[in-house]
Amino acid sequence: MYTVRTVASRLGCSTATVYTLIAAGRLRHYRIGTGRGAIRVTEEQLAEYLSGAEAGLLAPPPKARLKHLRL
């Protein structure tokens, strides 16, 4: 199992990007421990993310809906 820092290193990005992918549900992960727990990503989860990113299978982020504007 990889730490967030290791995943960031393997992807060649920042840890903030990895946390964003996790928060968006695009990178599956485990939380180990009590409370919020430590985030861990398996090799299979990382490979799944990479295969989806390569094939363009990842859905684009939803558009923000601005409730205060009327079009």
pLDDT above 60 for 26: yes
Structure confidence at residue 59 (pLDDT): 63
Which residue segment(s) compose the domain that 12 sits in?
Answer: 4-55
Region 29-44: what's the mean pLDDT? 93
DSSP-assigned states of every residue in the chain: -B-HHHHHHHHTS-HHHHHHHHHTTSS--EEESSTT-EEEB-HHHHHHHHHHHHHT-SPPPPPPP-TT---
For the chain, give the mean pLDDT: 87
pLDDT above 80 for 64: no
Structural domains in the chain (count): 1
Residue 51 pLDDT class (50, 70, 90 cuts): confident
